[in-house]
Chain A
Amino acid sequence: MKKYSIFSLVRNALSYHENWQAAWRSPPPKKEYDVIIIGGGGHGLATAYYLAKEHGITNVAVIEKGWIGGGNTGRNTTIVRSNYLWDEATHLYEKSMKLWEGLAQDLNYNVMFSQRGVMNLGHSLQDMRDITRRVNANRLNGVDGEVLDAQQVKQFEPLINISPDARYPILGASLQRRGGSARHDAVAWGFARGADAHGVDIIQKCEVTGIRREGERVVGVETTQGLIRASKVGVVTAGSSSVLAGLAGLRLPIESHPLQAFVSEPVKPVLNSVIMSNAVHGYISQTDKGDLVIGAGIDAYTGYGQRGSFPVIEHAVQAIMELFPAFSRVRMNRQWGGIVDVCPDACPIIGLTPVKGLYFNCGWGTGGFKATPGSGWVFAHTIAQNRPHELNAAFSLERFSNGHLIDEHGAAGVAH
Chain B
Amino acid sequence: MLEITCPWCGPREESEFSYGGEAHITRPLDTDALSDAQWGDYLFMRKNPRGLHHEQWMHAYGCRRWFNVVRNTLTYQITSVYKVGETIPGEKQ
Contact = CB atoms under 8 A, between A and B. Distances in A.
B48 A255 contact: yes
Contacts of A104: none
A304 B37 contact: no
B46 A305 contact: no
Contacts of B49: 242-243, 246
Contact of A301 (B36, B44, B55): B55
Interface residues of A, number: 24
Contacts of A402: 36, 40
A402 B38 CA distance: 11
B26 to A, nearest CB: 16
B2 A309 contact: yes
Given A255-B46, A305-B73, 20 more contacts: A251-B41, A251-B45, A251-B47, A252-B46, A252-B48, A253-B40, A253-B44, A254-B46, A255-B21, A301-B2, A301-B19, A301-B55, A302-B21, A302-B48, A303-B76, A304-B50, A304-B74, A305-B74, A400-B44, A402-B40
B80 to A, nearest CB: 16
11 contacts: A242-B46, A242-B48, A254-B48, A255-B46, A255-B48, A302-B73, A303-B74, A310-B1, A311-B15, A400-B45, A401-B36
A400 B37 CA distance: 8
Contact of B18 (A243, A300, A303, A401): A300
Contact of B53 (A302, A309, A401): A302
A365 to B, nearest CB: 13
B75 interface: yes
B8 interface: no
Interface in A203-230: none
A331 B81 CA distance: 39
A309 B45 contact: no
A226 B43 CA distance: 37
Contacts of A302: 21, 48, 53, 55, 73
Contacts of A300: 18-19
A344 interface: yes
A256 interface: yes
Given A311-B15, A402-B36, A253 B45 contact: yes
B39 interface: yes
Contacts of B48: 242, 252, 254-256, 302
Contacts of A344: 43-44
Interface of B: 1-2, 14-15, 18-19, 21, 35-37, 39-41, 43-50, 53, 55, 71, 73-76
**A252, A256, A303, most chain B CB atoms within 10 A:** A303
Interface of A: 240, 242-243, 246, 251-256, 300-305, 309-311, 344, 400-403
**B46, B49, B75, most chain A CB atoms within 10 A:** B46
A309 B44 contact: no
B56 to A, nearest CB: 10
Contact of A401 (B40, B46, B76): B40
**A242, A246, A255, A301, most chain B CB atoms within 10 A:** A301
Nearest to B41: A251
B37 to A, nearest CB: 5
A36 B40 CA distance: 29
Nearest to A341: B48
A305 B36 CA distance: 34
Contacts of B1: 309-311
A303 B55 CA distance: 12
Nearest to A302: B73
A303 B74 CA distance: 6
Contacts of B41: 251, 401
**B36, B45, B76, most chain A CB atoms within 10 A:** B45
A311 B53 CA distance: 22
A301 B50 CA distance: 13
Contacts of B76: 303, 305
Nearest to B50: A304
A311 B2 CA distance: 10
Which 10 A/B pairs are nearest by Cβ-Cβ distance?
A: A401-B40, A253-B44, A242-B48, A251-B45, A300-B19, A301-B19, A401-B36, A400-B44, A400-B40, A401-B37
B47 A311 contact: no
Nearest to A239: B50
A401 B38 CA distance: 8
Contacts of A242: 46-50
Nearest to B2: A309
